[in-house]
Amino acid sequence: MGKKIDVTITYLEQRTKPTFPTPPRPPFKVAIMRAENPPVHFYRYIYRLVGDPYHWVSRRRLTDGELAAILSDPAVYIYVLYLAGAPAGFAEIDFRTGKTAEIKFFGLAPEAIGRGLGRYFLTNAIEMAWDLGPKRVRLETCTLDHPAALPLYQKLGFTVFDQRKGQVELIEEDAPRVASR
């Protein structure tokens, strides 16, 4: 069993499509591409690249077969943000219910943070979620996520509909280590 960390989970939603304009394209070589049925190894790479600093563990606990089943579902959309040809972030939109588009995961690689890419990429991800025709778009964040996450979600039109206490159990290799003497 790994170390457990107490968190507050905040659940947010949009019940109508926002009308704000998409931010201008950043002044870098950027592209957003859908990874259709990506290989499990690629998904694990991008998930860890973005999520390890924030202790994302849920998808790491899945077997390759379980993860492949999710990734191959035509109602799961994986979008990768590329910066100068290299992966710099990803968004995963789950529309398997056919009513709610849930942005399951969203984030940037550490070296992409602070370069004006977050708002640009998230605004595009929200637009892509609404293009699926849902009744609402939802996402969640917790106190382990980047401190700018919740304020950005709210600036882009998400409202809080629930908040709960929870725990994240770190995978042993991610647990903080104490140096031995």
pLDDT band at 179; cut points 50, 70, 90:
very low
Using the predicted structure, report yes or no on whether residue 168 has a pLDDT greater than 70. Answer: yes
pLDDT tens string 102-137? 999 999 999 999 998 999 999 999 999 999 999 999
Q: What is the DSSP string of 103-116?
A: EEEEEE-GGGTTTT
pTM: predicted TM-score of the whole model, two decimal places: 0.91
Between β-strands 76-83 and 159-169, what pairing exists: parallel, antiparallel or unpaired?
unpaired
Q: What is the DSSP string of 1-23?
A: ---EEEEEEEEEEESS---PPPP
Identify the pLDDT of residue 132: 97
Domain-wise residue ranges, the chain: 4-174
83-114 per-residue burial string, b: 16 or more CB within 10 A, e: under 16: beeebbbbbbbbbeeeebbbbbbbbbbeebee
Beta strands in 40-170 (DSSP E): 76-83, 86-94, 100-108, 136-142, 159-169
Q: Say whether 28 sits in a helix, a strand or coil.
A: coil
Superfamily for the 4-174 domain: Gcn5-related N-acetyltransferase (GNAT) (3.40.630.30)
